[in-house]
Amino acid sequence: MNLTKTDFKEYLICQKWLWAKKKKPELIVEGEMSLFLEKLIKDGYEVEEFAQKLFPSGIELKGDKESLISQTKKGLDDHQTMFQATFQTKSGLFAKIDILSFDSESNKWNLYEIKASSSIKTDLQHNHIKDITFQTIVAERSGVEINNSYIIHINKDYCRHGDIEPEKLFVIENVTEDVQDNKENVLKEIEDALDLLKKDSIGMERCDCIYRSHSQRCDSFELFNKMVPKYSVHHIVGGKKLLELIDSDIYDIQDIPDDFKLTEKQSEKVTLQKTGRPMIDTESIKETLSDFTFPLYFLDYETFGKPYPILDGYKTNQQIVFQYSLHVLQEDGMLEHFEYLADQLETATEGLVKSLISNIGPVGTILVWNQGFEKGRNEELARIHPEYKGFLDDINTRIYDLMLVFKKDYLHPNFQGSASIKKVLPVLLPDLSYKNLDIQDGTMALSEWERSIHESTSEEECKEIRENLLKYCELDTLAMVEIYKKLKEL
């Protein structure tokens, strides 16, 4: 049975997850690949294409496994720089190397791993050093002498001026020493993973993820931890406190002992679940709302981005604001809606800012949900379009984050510890839902907008996508309007 780099990464996250995927795949409920994951994969391929330009004499190997391995052997004989050089060892290790380049001075090969991130990561979910150590081991066990191992990653300080310059877009870090330092440990982990896959059965109760926070779980958590509710103690505590609760077989928040040591915020979350009643500071909410100045502007942006700069003047990972929705509420209750949706990449932001200028007056509170996002985009827009800096800076001084109310003054057990509008809206206004929309989240929005501006998309498809985008973004700001009205009723 093969062990690929992806398999090995999954083993490091959760051993039982890997075993179930490889030995009992029928037990794994595989959902559709998320649009977010699809985007990451697509972006990764695009970043690889730019990195390959650093090696103009390189050739990309294509075909099935046997063909790739055969082409790799020929490339090794010819000292040819290869993209996707492929190796399989007798023990079952399998690897495709992003870039393998012959070094004539050492008479050995240099191995390169390409990452779309702007730094080398070593956390549980993404350990780039262990990734490249695995690749190096597989190449060496296949008879290739490796001179140095390198990680090529995005340069976070790169700003585009004209065509993308790969030599400036990337940072190439020699991690040979790190690979050598990790090799003994990774070799043992590889052997342990191979031994695990030889087993025909394992204990199906609890996997190691039960001791980790909810964001660090493997994809098969529910298979091995059926006793853990969807909203559990993992959403309240972490570290030693979580370990203590799990070792006491406490999974449900309502079962946390009253004398268990918690922070004030953690205690609030536990109390909400135990009482089942919301905690609402009516006076504080009234005071907050009284500080608002009419007309009220409810603003939401949709953005599109890549790891590399898409347009001139943009930095790596910088997002392009391609759409906004704006509801304007007057003091007498009159409500108007304005919107903008770009139809091409190059003029998206200038057209958007000009539209904002025509619809946002010099007086009035601007309400958003998660102010760091809108303020950050306004700051970027001001750098890209300095002629509009005064207007954009003024907007930022008038912004109030409506989410803050639901972080401190309006807490509800059904929010499950979150202040996201996707959690708040169904509780306060169950009839106002995203479920009936064709576009239901920001990732879907950016993916669909990218499709709408692509030349291969038909006029009919483009029209339908734009209608769906406008409906989605409009609901974002209408939801804020209705939540505001709900708060006014308190």
Over residues 177-192, the pLDDT tens digits come to 999 999 999 999 999 9
Radius of gyration over every alpha carbon of the chain, rounded to an integer in angstroms: 26
- Label the pairing between strands 82-88 and 59-60: parallel
Query: Residue 93: beta bridge partners?
Result: 3
Over residues 56-67, the pLDDT tens digits come to 999 999 999 999
CA distance linking residue 213 with residue 386, whole number of Å: 43
Over residues 122-155, the pLDDT tens digits come to 998 899 999 999 999 999 999 999 999 999 999 9
Over residues 78-130, the pLDDT tens digits come to 999 999 999 999 999 999 999 999 999 999 999 999 999 999 999 988 999 99
The pLDDT > 90 percentage for the chain reads 91
Q: How far are the Cα atoms of 207, 228, 425, 438 from residue 242, in angstroms, in the given order? A: 15, 13, 30, 39
Q: 5-197: what fold? A: Lambda Exonuclease; Chain A (3.90.320)
pLDDT confidence band for 460 (50 / 70 / 90): very high
What average pLDDT does this structure show over 262-282? 96
Around 95, how many Cα atoms within 13 Å sit in the side-chain half-sphere? 28
Helices 282-290/459-488 angle, 10° precision: 120
Over residues 399-424, the pLDDT tens digits come to 999 999 999 999 999 999 999 999 99
Considering only the top CATH level, what class is 277-490? alpha beta
pLDDT over threshold 60, residue 299: yes
Q: Which ranges in the chain are annotated with CATH 3.90.320?
A: 5-197
Q: Which of 41, 38, 160, 170 is nearest to 99 (CA)?
A: 170
Q: What is the pLDDT of residue 379?
A: 97
pLDDT over threshold 60, residue 33: no
The pLDDT > 70 percentage for the chain reads 99
What average pLDDT does this structure show over 299-318? 95
Q: Which ranges in the chain are annotated with CATH 3.30.420?
A: 277-490
| Burial (Cβ within 10 Å: 0-12, 13-18, ≥19) of residue 193 | buried
